[in-house]
Structure 1
Amino acid sequence: MDVPFGKPPVERADAARNREALLCTARAMIAEAGVDRVTMDGLAERAGLGKGTVFRRFGTRAGIFRALLDAEEHCFQAQVMSGPPPLGPGADPIDRLIAYGRERTFFLLERQDIARAAVERKGPVASAAPVFTQPHIRMLLKQAGLGLADPDTLAFQLTSALEGPPLVVMAMERPASGRCEGDLGTLLADGWQTLIERLARR
């Protein structure tokens, strides 16, 4: 069984429609002009909604980007829980672990600008992603039957390698623009695969 993740709170139908309209509009604005051009006023005008609706929904400009990340995080987690293997169920646990790290690396790098914009000026906002990543890695390690003395600690260390500061620092030093460049994402994904294969003694 895969690790469950929290469900979003139930919304009224009109609130849900407004939220989805705003998120779709924000995605379009980012695709057209980049993260820096997305403002509360611009989002409200582009979506055809009142500015008060945007403030009630997101609170701050950073809240827009946190909502975007949250929505995409739920989609990613759904693929892990019920999508096709090897990322989803049905594959060997080591193959799933390799696939998870590779896909997670690209997922994070491709959204690094949104992640930076999701940080409030008053201070950093902790990501909830490791709440899913760490237990998922721990589950796969245990399913793999590697005879590890302490899979819990190893899961924590692997989560740090995947979600932690080193990935952020490397991304800032070598900004990623997609999978086809020459290519931080591929280097990190290949490094993850090598690490897991050696752990499994393949």
Structure 2
Amino acid sequence: MTDRPLLPLADAAPRERSDAARNRDAVLAAALRLVDEHGVAAVTMESVAEAAGVGKGTVFRRFENRSGLFAAVLDHSEARWQESVMTGEPPLGPGALALDRLLAFGDSRISRTLSHAELFGAASTGHTRSYPVWSFTSLHVQHLLRELDVTGDIPLLAAALLAPMEMPILSQQVRIEKLPLPRIVAAWQDLARRVVGA
């Protein structure tokens, strides 16, 4: 039997060339930096290409338009945040007590959602997270609740803890009701403590 390369799985993403991966990472980092510095409205495909040191055509071929670019920026930023939850420093990452991790998770998630509000709009996501993002956060909170020996319907309790962190709710509280962020975080932490019986 001769050695032949295995065919890729039907749903597997094609392997990315190393230069293409470097360009993608440079573009996403540049876009996020420009958004942080100037706001979403001021960021163009051209300015991102210049900041990343790549051609404008590279950015358009890869992301098609601003919505595609900003959706990719959100995905990239989310992946980095998830990594900090899984392997980062405590209390957000492993090594802290489960309750401390849960409270740090809530603080971090609320802050991230608000800091990415403009990106959600520019990415045309309708201010909602993708299923993989929701799945990750839900499974993480369920895991922490089980570590804390919480009883009841764990998936629905996790959903109840995650709902206040979503953009429509936070936008209503911060932009319309003008509630200060520390009050929102404190109220969420109070809810978390009540759920876990702490």
TM-score, normalised by the number of residues in structure 2: 0.81
AA of the residue aligned to 2:146: K
Which SS does the other structure have where 1:127 is aligned?
Answer: coil
1:107 aligns with 2:112: yes
AA of the residue aligned to 1:144: L
Listed as ranges, the matches of 1:58-73 within 5 Å are 58-73=63-78
AA of the residue aligned to 2:93: G
1:44–1:51 CA contact under 8 A, matched in 2:
yes
Shift of 1:86: 1.7
CA–CA distance in structure 1, aligned partners of residues 50 and 60 of structure 2: 13
Sequence identity (%): 40
CA–CA distance in structure 2, aligned partners of residues 10 and 163 of structure 1: 33
Q: Which residue matches 2:3?
A: none
TM-score, normalised by the number of residues in structure 1: 0.80
Q: How many pairs are equivalent?
A: 184
Deviation track 1:95-129 (CA, whole Å, cap 9, x = no partner) reads: 21111111111111112112221116xxx374222
Listed as ranges, the gaps of 5+ residues in structure 2 are: 1-12
In structure 2, relative to structure 1, the CA distance for the partners of 1:158 and 1:32 (3 Å cut) is: closer
CA–CA distance in structure 1, aligned partners of residues 37 and 93 of structure 2: 32
CA–CA distance in structure 2, aligned partners of residues 196 and 31 of structure 1: 30
CA–CA distance in structure 2, aligned partners of residues 11 and 152 of structure 1: 36
RMSD: 2.3
In structure 2, relative to structure 1, the CA distance for the partners of 1:11 and 1:199 (3 Å cut) is: same
Shift of 1:164: 5.5
1:132 aligns with 2:128: no
Deviation track 1:71-96 (CA, whole Å, cap 9, x = no partner) reads: 11111111111112221112222221
- Structure with the bigger RCO (C-alpha within 8 Å, sep 6+) is 1
Deviation track 1:148-185 (CA, whole Å, cap 9, x = no partner) reads: 2211211122222222531232244268xxxxxxx732
AA of the residue aligned to 2:60: F
Listed as ranges, the gaps of 5+ residues in structure 1 are: 1-7, 176-182
> For the pair shown, which has the larger CA radius of gyration, 1 or 2?
2
In structure 2, relative to structure 1, the CA distance for the partners of 1:95 and 1:46 (3 Å cut) is: closer
Listed as ranges, the matches of 1:1-202 within 5 Å are 10-119=15-124, 124=126, 126-128=128-130, 129-146=133-150, 148-163=151-166, 165-173=168-176, 184-202=180-198
1:109–1:185 CA contact under 8 A, matched in 2:
no
